[in-house]
Amino acid sequence: MDAKTPAESRTTLTDLVLPSETNPLNNLFGGELLARMDRAASIAARRHSRRIVVTASVNHVAFNKAVPLGSVVTVEAAVSRAFKSSMEIFIDVWVEDRESGQRSKANEAIYTFVAVDETGAPIKVPPLQPETDLEKERFAAALRRKQLSLVLAGKLKPNEATELKALFE
């Protein structure tokens, strides 16, 4: 299988924050942002694999900045590393200033998707070839994030998480 670049899976979703999507402080409700990120990430995973994909895990979410009612929110997702059947997707969330149009980073998240066949069984995906410095940085750290996720899910013994252990040595 030929390698693909993150640019080939990059997916951008831009939408408004409407009143029905806010919390009592009139900021975007966290669950609504999780759904938008899941949608963008699933399209990125599908573009990389050209397969049916399912969310296997939400590895990390940081709601760093509240997103006020009426904001224009852009969710950008791209595959940051592909393993055998799983893909790590990095998601950056941007908010656009109404007057200047300048974008500032509001949140980020990391999801894991798995490509499956029609019976739901995991299936191989193409490798990822990072190009930019940021893509290379995200690629390099992805294996320890996968190991951490598997340890937390009880699917990998901590003493087998070699890449993760190396962080503390």
Ligand X SMILES: CC(C)(COP(=O)(O)OP(=O)(O)OC[C@H]1O[C@@H](n2cnc3c(N)ncnc32)[C@H](O)[C@@H]1OP(=O)(O)O)[C@@H](O)C(=O)NCCC(=O)NCCS
Residues interacting with ligand X, by CB under 6 A? 54-57, 83-86, 112, 114, 116, 120, 122, 146, 149-150, 153, 155
CB of 119 to ligand X, least distance (A): 11
- DSSP for 9-77, written as a single string: H-EEEEEE--GGGB-TTSBB-HHHHHHHHHHHHHHHHHHHH-SEEEEEEEEEEE--S--BTT-EEEEEE
Q: Which residue is nearest to ligand X (CB)?
A: 83
Kindly tell me which of 13 and 116 has the beta carbon lying closer to ligand X: 116
Kindly tell me which of 12 and 55 has the beta carbon lying closer to ligand X: 55
Kindly tell me which of 55 and 129 has the beta carbon lying closer to ligand X: 55
Q: What residues are paired with 56 via a beta bridge? A: none
Q: What residues are paired with 71 via a beta bridge? A: none
CB of 118 to ligand X, least distance (A): 13
Kindly tell me which of 11 and 86 has the beta carbon lying closer to ligand X: 86
HSE, side-chain direction, 13 A CA sphere, residue 165? 8
